[in-house]
Each structure stands twice: as structure tokens, then as C-alpha cells.
Amino acid sequence: MELKEIQRLEGHTDRVWSLAWNPATGHAGVPLVFASCSGDKTVRIWEQNLSSRLWECKTVLEETHIRTVRSCAWSPSGKLLATASFDATTAIWENVGGDFECVSTLEGHENEVKSVCWNASGNLLATCSRDKSVWIWEVQPGNEFECVSVLQGHTQDVKMVKWHPTEDILFSCSYDNSVKVWADEGDSDDWQCVQTLGEPNNGHTSTVWALSFNPGGDKMVTCSDDLTLKVWETESIGMQSGGGFAPWRHLCTLSGYHGRTIFSVHWSGEGIFASGAADDAIRLFVEDTESQAGGPLYKLLLKKEKAHDMDVNSVQWSPGEKPLLASASDDGTIKVWELVS
Amino acid sequence: MTLANRNFKMVKTIAEFFLILRVNITSDQTQKAFGKVLTKLGCTAPLVPGFCIQKKVSMNLSVGEYKDEFECFFGSVGASCELGVMDDLFDSSLNLEDAHYKEGYDEAYNHGLIAGKEEARQVGLKVGFEVGEELGFYRGWVDIWTSTIQVDPTCFSPRAKMIIAQMEELIQKYPLMDPENLQVQEIMDSLRVKFKMVCSSMHVKLEYNGYPKSSTEANDIQF
């Protein structure tokens, strides 16, 4: 197995913070598209040329955010792109025949917005900020977004929000070392923290930077400044019929693989999860089917040293039958990788 | 033995005084009453080294019940004094320190009570003003929004109207006259969040100036 570099994409003039693949691309003859966001305050849209297989920057979204764009996320339909910025706003861009137009700006956070995520059905959007709060927004007719709930529970900067891949259950991870699970219990608009995965339940001992779900949605991997990856599982997905919540529990901890902060983790449709870390390397992990009882359940598949010249901030698997991996780095570049055997 | 030397000196000056105090009281109160009397004497009297109590029990047949007789000696610590009396002599000097300590403590305590009350009054005035000002700020906005809704019920979204109504309830519920009520902080936090949500819904940026902004607390380094 080898992680082969397909292309190195330049264009951003500052560190690249994050990237997001358009979920509506990569199949049925639609060329793969992803968006990247950067400290240069811009968002770039990259599209694969179907004949050359190479990537080119189709458009640059600029002059909307006045500070770093920290995170971006496509709606499930691929029609809307949400971008979260340190300027305390989240912008919504509509893709009209390849042209992107800013159709809405979500204001409410006190300061830097760190992450944005759409739910599975695309009617809810979550944002989180250094102001320690998580906001849930509902999509209204006419590209209007209204705040449904403000979730206050984290005691520090919230680094990332992520919806469950099928259920309306929200996960947030924070500088306070915890992952919190939020659900709308009973009446609508009554979002509550239903579980906190922290140190007392085998959680992380330092900042939790990112989390990702397996394709089935019954497992979740988290990565942290404590140099470990942790895998969590749940009995049944989502809210049970009785309205009760099936809690998540710690499954295993992968330690000893990373020597620096792990900033990003992403689980592919094929069950391989990738990690991007401050040691400039990308690592891939798979389930260890030969694992002994009580032994580690996941093993290192490969490690790509010097994947970038600087910190790897984000790793993301593409949609489609043969997923590609894209990585974004402090060195200002994005790389697209192919896993070949 | 500087302590002992100092006491002996004092003993000499008051050795001529010898006092027997006799008190007759019913048996169940004797120890208690005597404890009080002695404490009082101990506290108010000037330096009295070699202070001790002796207890004698005798029968008073005419009354038909037991009585305790106490004899209390002051002074009388001459050359003939025994070791036990010497102990009492040191006790007295130790009690002396205690008594002075207690006197000082009481004085400071009473002073602190007065000063603390005054300081608390000032803090109370300040905090009370701040809370009142912030509540008034929200009260004003809720009134304006409510009036606007009465003029044009469609001007805000159903969700915004609901939150405005909830703010109204919270303001009324706020225990203004009961600052020790545990709900105080909870209600204020809830009001702050709801205010932000309404502002966000209306795409306006309103801010209560008195509210401490967390953005000014931290430095600008971002991750």
C-alpha cells in the first residue's frame, strides 16, 4: 500500500485551514469538486478535469470575509457552501451554474467561528466559536437562516461541530478536552447536552480537535492534542423509540503513533481513517481483524512522512467509488492523494 | 524561666491580700454558676497569679438538701506553696495571654462587623445598579418589540416572537428583591442568550455596553 501524490495545488497565499468535498460530485459523470479555505481570507473551489484528471481552481470566493476563513461545509445537495470565519460570521454561498453568490450571512457569535456543519437532511446548520457556544440554525425559505438554539456547555473554545451522518444529533469538541453530544429532546427547539465524553469516561486529556464517523454511524473517531486517537461506539444509532438516548462509550485508544498534535481525522466510506498532524505526516488506520481479545482493534496501515512541509490541518476523503484523499497544510498547499496497492 | 520570675515578683506585691469568697447555691447550678463567676472575675480582675478553686461538700440539714460550698482563694502563694499551686501560677499567666487575645479578637471582630457591613453596602449598590441597568436594557427592548408586534404581527418570525415572549416572562420572573435566590444567574444568562438570538434573527447588532466582552479578555492568537 502506498499513498501516491496525484497533485500539489497552489493558490492560497496563507495557511490552508480546511477543505470540504462536494458530496454531490464524483459520480454519474460529475467531476469531483472541493472547496478549501485559508488564512488569506478566501475560499477556493477546485474541480477535477475529467480528461486530464488534474485539478484546477475554478473560482475564488473573496471580499466577503474580512478575516481568516477557518472552515467550510457543503450542504448535502451540494448546492450551498457554508464558510465560517474568524470575523465572527458564517457566510452561505449558492452555486448558480458554477458561479458562487453569497446569499446569506449568519451573525450571532461573539467572536471567531471555528467550524460549520450541515445535518444529513440539510435543513439544519451548526456553528461553533471561541465564545464557547454552539449555535444551531434552521434553513428558512428564501435562503434565510434562523437561530434555533444556542448551546452553552463547553467551558472553552469549541473547535469543531459535526452532525451524525444520519440522525439529528450534534457532536462538538473543544479546548476543554471534551466531546459533547446534543439532541433535541421532546419539544422542538429544546436542544440539550445528552452526554459529555471527557476524562472521567476514558476521554481525551487535552484539546479535542476533530471527530469523524464511520459509514455505519455507530462508531466515531476523535483526535486530540494528547497525541491519541480514540474510537467510540454506540449500541444503537440515534434516539431510541422510547425517546431515550443510546450513550456512546469508549472502545479503544490509539496511542504511540503520533508525536505531535493531531489536528484532523476522517473516516472513509471504505473504513479507513486518515489522520493529519503537526508532524507534517499523514497516517492511515484500518480495523485489525486479527486483533486478539483485549488487543488494539485498529492498526496503522501506513504513514506518509513529510506529506507536507508544515502542519497538516485537514485530511478529507472524497465521495465516489474510489475515494481520493485531500490534505490541507500550513505550507499553503493542498495535496490530492491516491491510495494504491 | 523568665515567665516564672516575672510572676513571683508580682506575687510578692499582692501576697498580703488574702480573700475567701463563699457562695451557697443549690447543687445542680453550682458548677455552672461558679464557672461563670470565676470567668468573670478572671476576665475583669487585674493580674491575679496563683488563682485556684477548692471544693468542699457539706450537708445542710436544716434545708434538707445538699449544698456545695466553694472556697475561692486569691493570692496566698507564699514560700509554703506546693507544686500544684505553682502550676496554677503559670496557668494564670497563660490565661492572661488568652484573655488579651480574646479581648483583641472581640474588638477586631466588632470593628470588622461594622467595616464589612459598610463595604458590603457599597458592593451591593454597585452590583445592584449593574443588574438593574442590564435588566432595564432588556426590558426596554422587549417593550419596543412587543409594541411593534402589536402594530404589525407579521414583522418578526414566529420563533423570534416566541423568544421575545420568553424574555418578557424571564424579566418578570427575575427575583429583584431576593439577590440570594439561586435563579438569579440562570435567568440573567438565559436573557443574554435570548437577546442574542433575537438580534441574530433580525440581523441587527445590538449590544449591552455594560456586558463584559470575552473578546477583550484574551489575546489575539488564534488556532
| Cβ neighbours of A133 in B, within 8 Å | 193
- Tell me what percent of the residues of chain B surpass a pLDDT of 70: 54
Tell me the shortest Cα–Cα distance from B127 to chain A, in angstroms. Answer: 24
Q: Tell me the C-alpha distance between B72 and A169, whole Å.
A: 83
The region of weakest confidence among A101-115, A175-189, B102-116 is: A175-189
Q: Is the pLDDT at A321 greater than 60, yes or no?
A: yes
**Grid cell 492523494 in the structure block, residue:** A337
The region of weakest confidence among A104-108, A148-152, B73-77 is: B73-77
DSSP per-residue letters across A247-305:
-EEEEEEE-SS-SS-EEEEEE-TTS-EEEEETTS-EEEEEE-TTPPTTS-SEEEEEEET
Task: Please state, as a whole number, how many other Cβ atoms lie within 10 Å of the Cβ of residue B69.
Answer: 15
Q: Tell me the C-alpha distance between A171 and A211, whole Å.
A: 8
Q: Is the pLDDT at A87 greater than 50, yes or no?
A: yes
Check: pTM over 0.90? Answer yes or no. no
Nearest CA in chain B to A189: B159
Give the end-to-end CA distance of chain B in Å, rounded to a whole number. Answer: 70
Using alpha carbons, select from A115, A118, A89, A93 the residue that is nearest to residue A103.
A93
Chosen from B185, B195, B200, B207 to mutate, greatest number of chain A CBs within 10 A: B200
pLDDT of residue B4: 43
Q: Is the pLDDT at B214 greater than 60, yes or no?
A: no
Is 0.85 exceeded by the ipTM? no
Average pLDDT, chain B: 72
Tell me the shortest Cα–Cα distance from A150 to chain B, in angstroms. Answer: 7
Tell me the shortest Cα–Cα distance from A30 to chain B, in angstroms. Answer: 35
> What are the Cα distances from residue A139, in Å, to A124, A127, A238, B90, B200?
6, 13, 22, 86, 14
More confident position, B170 or A237: B170
pLDDT of residue B218: 43
Nearest CA in chain B to A115: B223
pLDDT of residue A324: 94
- Going by pLDDT thresholds of 50, 70 and 90, the confidence category of residue B205 is confident
| Cβ neighbours of A148 in B, within 8 Å | 159
pLDDT of residue A83: 97
Chosen from A67, A146, A189 to mutate, greatest number of chain B CBs within 10 A: A146
CB contact under 8 A, A86 and B157: no
Chosen from A107, A128, A158, A208 to mutate, greatest number of chain B CBs within 10 A: A107
**How many residue contacts between A and B have a Cβ separation below 8 Å?**
39
Q: Tell me the C-alpha distance between A69 and A302, whole Å.
A: 31
CB contact under 8 A, B214 and A68: no
CB contact under 8 A, A152 and B189: yes
| Cβ neighbours of B203 in A, within 8 Å | 107
Chosen from A15, A111, A225 to mutate, greatest number of chain B CBs within 10 A: A111
pLDDT of residue B26: 63
Plot region of A28 (φ>0 → left; ψ -120 to 50 → alpha; else → beta):
left
List pLDDT tens digits, range A12-44. Answer: 999 999 999 999 998 888 999 999 999 999 999
List pLDDT tens digits, range B8-52. Answer: 444 444 444 555 545 555 666 667 766 776 667 666 655 545 544
Judge whether A130 is closer than 8 Å to chain B, CB to CB: yes
| Cβ neighbours of B215 in A, within 8 Å | 110-111, 131
CB contact under 8 A, A146 and B159: yes
Q: Tell me the C-alpha distance between A156 and A208, whole Å.
A: 11
pLDDT of residue A190: 82
Q: Is the pLDDT at B53 greater than 90, yes or no?
A: no
CB contact under 8 A, A68 and B215: no
List pLDDT tens digits, range B56-88. Answer: 444 443 444 444 444 444 444 433 344 444 556
pLDDT of residue B5: 43
DSSP per-residue letters across chain B:
-HHHHHHHHHHHHHTT-EEEEEEEEEHHHHHHHHHHHHHHHHHHSS--TT-EEEEEEEEETTTTEEEEEEEEEEE--STT--HHHHHHHHHHHHHHHHHHHHHHHHHHHHHHHHHHHHHHHHHHHHHHHHHHHHHHHHHHHHHHHHHHHHH-TTSS-HHHHHHHHHHHHHHHHS-TT-TT-THHHHHHHHHHHHHHHHHHHHT-----TTSPPGGGTS-S---
Nearest CA in chain A to B204: A107
Q: Which residues have C-beta within 8 Å of that of residue A179, sequence separation ≥ 6? A: A171, A172, A173, A196, A197, A198, A203, A204, A208, A211, A222
Average pLDDT, chain A: 92
pLDDT of residue A246: 82
Give the end-to-end CA distance of chain A in Å, rounded to a whole number. Answer: 4
Interface list for chain B against chain A, based on CB atoms closer than 8 Å: 157, 159-160, 189, 193, 196-197, 199-201, 203, 205, 213-215, 218, 222
More confident position, A104 or B6: A104
Judge whether A108 is closer than 8 Å to chain B, CB to CB: yes
Q: Is the pLDDT at A272 greater than 90, yes or no?
A: yes
Residue B154 cell numbers, joined: 407579521
| Cβ neighbours of B193 in A, within 8 Å | 133, 150, 152
CB contact under 8 A, A150 and B197: yes
Residue A150 cell numbers, joined: 444556542
Between CA B117 and CA B119, with CA B118 as vertex, the angle to 5 degrees is 95
The region of weakest confidence among A305-309, A330-334, B34-38, B171-175 is: B34-38
- Going by pLDDT thresholds of 50, 70 and 90, the confidence category of residue B7 is very low
Q: Is the pLDDT at A11 greater than 70, yes or no?
A: yes
Closest in B159, B205, B215 to A107, CB measured: B205
The DSSP 8-state label assigned to residue A39 in this structure reads T
Q: Tell me the C-alpha distance between A164 and A179, whole Å.
A: 13
| Cβ neighbours of B218 in A, within 8 Å | 130
CB contact under 8 A, B214 and A106: no
